[in-house]
Amino acid sequence: MLQLNYKSGVPICDQIVNGFIRMKALGLSKGGDQLPSVRALAVELCVNPNTIQKAYQMLESAGVIYSVKGKGSFFSDDAAADIAVIKAAKKDFRAAVQSALELGMTESELKKIIAEVCGKEEAHND
């Protein structure tokens, strides 16, 4: 299900949020699918239940999930969930571009990679 990188600089809570958003974006989970209980996921990931609860609250406020009292949390099937997924993808993309720039890549190198990914340029042009 979710895999955490305890050595990365990304807070565990954010990794959990991003993991569930990624699952929704990739179609691994669909609207109405139930998320694990806070306690069960905390045990599985070996993290504090408060961290899981905070992640679930963030996902709910973004519209990715909804909670039913006494039943649990479920993936949302509405447009808000899709918007949150796209917003998260944009955030990840911006972070990757920023990181590449900090490592010395040029704007033209980045544009070339984007063109390759989008299929507008042949990959053999390194």
Task: Record the pTM.
Answer: 0.69
pLDDT greater than 80 at residue 78: no
At 88, list the tokens. Answer: 């998260």
What pLDDT score does 48 carry?
97
pLDDT greater than 70 at residue 30: yes
CATH number of the domain that residue 64 is part of:
1.10.10.10
Could you tell me if residue 122 is inside a domain?
A: no
Which domain does 107 fall in, by range? 12-117
What pLDDT score does 122 carry?
59
In whole angstroms, what is the distance from residue 72 CA to residue 66 CA?
9
pLDDT greater than 90 at residue 74: yes
The pairs formed by 50-56 with CB atoms below 8 angstroms and a separation of 24 or more are 51/12, 51/13, 51/16, 52/16, 54/13, 55/13, 55/16, 55/17, 55/20
Could you tell me if residue 2 is inside a domain?
A: no
DSSP 37: P
| CA 91 to each of CA 7, 11, 69: distance values in angstroms, whole numbers, following the listed order | 21, 15, 31
What pLDDT score does 124 carry?
52
Q: What is the mean pLDDT of residues 75-92?
A: 79
Residue of 51 and 80 predicted with greater confidence: 51
Number of domains in the chain: 1
Per cent of the chain over pLDDT 70 is: 93
What pLDDT score does 19 carry?
92
In whole angstroms, what is the distance from residue 26 CA to residue 43 CA?
25
